[in-house]
A and B are shown apart, each in its own frame.
Chain A
């Protein structure tokens, strides 16, 4: 997946507040427009980024978001990496189930975001944190 893709310089944002989640949405929107994602795909990517940035804040206790253009020789797209040093996810299968939540939300953030992107990789260690990488390719 990640190997072989040509990754341009990533822009980095810190996520510590509600306002930062808005900034993540704005950055991802700008990037999505710059690689000419279709309107529906822009909407899907920005929505997924909003869900995951909020997770980084609410469940991960804050963290960082890096986003940039990616190229695999055939297509270009946008990759976004969300990282936190929070508690990690003990049961990943459960966390990816629609409707499961520990935070009082709808439990659609993680599972829903996965459906909205083309590639979704999650790396989590209990007690150390969670890193989620998503990619949306131009059609």
Chain B
């Protein structure tokens, strides 16, 4: 069975799905990611699906489950690179992926995670000034 590699880059785990996954491969990825989050202590997961020409309900559900598992393990998941035709099909299928953060590409996904991390770090501040928090953190 093929396996989808999970790469660690700083505080982020990066997964780029490049194959037409069998259902078992998707489930294996779910387990691998949970293990890697715990082993590395990473706080962000980026799943790049730009190479996928379809996302059916099984893969959609797996992505949602990965996002939930990550959150429980103190990591945020961002799905990036969805093709326009895939987005149209997913919504028509009835799957709007609630609870999943998305970004258009890996770069924007990383920016989103960095922003999320900074906001979480300064969560206790009475002054809820996001800009100031970002400046202080850098």
Interface residues in chain A, defined as those with a beta carbon under 8 Å from any beta carbon in chain B = 18-19, 21-22, 25-26, 29, 39-40, 42-44, 46-47, 50-51, 54, 98, 105-106, 108-109, 111-113, 115-116
Contact = CB atoms under 8 A, between A and B. Distances in A.
Contact of A43 (B21, B24, B57, B88): B88
Contact of A105 (B21, B24, B55, B61): B61
22 contacts: A22-B22, A25-B54, A29-B53, A39-B85, A40-B84, A40-B85, A42-B53, A43-B54, A43-B89, A44-B88, A44-B89, A47-B54, A47-B55, A51-B57, A106-B57, A108-B93, A108-B94, A109-B57, A112-B93, A115-B92, A115-B94, A116-B92
B20 interface: yes
| Dominant SS among interface residues on chain B | helix
Contact of A112 (B20, B21, B88, B95): B95
Interface residues of B, number: 23
B56 interface: yes
Contacts, number: 72
Nearest to A39: B85
B58 A111 contact: no
Interface string B67-92: 00000000000000001111011001
Given A29-B53, A54-B23, A40 B61 contact: no
B20 A108 contact: no
Given A50-B54, A50-B56, 9 more contacts: A18-B24, A40-B89, A43-B85, A44-B88, A44-B89, A47-B55, A51-B56, A51-B57, A98-B94
Contact of B86 (A26, A43, A112, A115): A43
| Dominant SS among interface residues on chain A | helix
Given A43-B89, A112-B94, A115-B94, A21 B54 contact: no
A47 B22 contact: no
A46 B94 contact: no
Nearest to A99: B94
Nearest to B59: A50
A108 B94 CA distance: 7
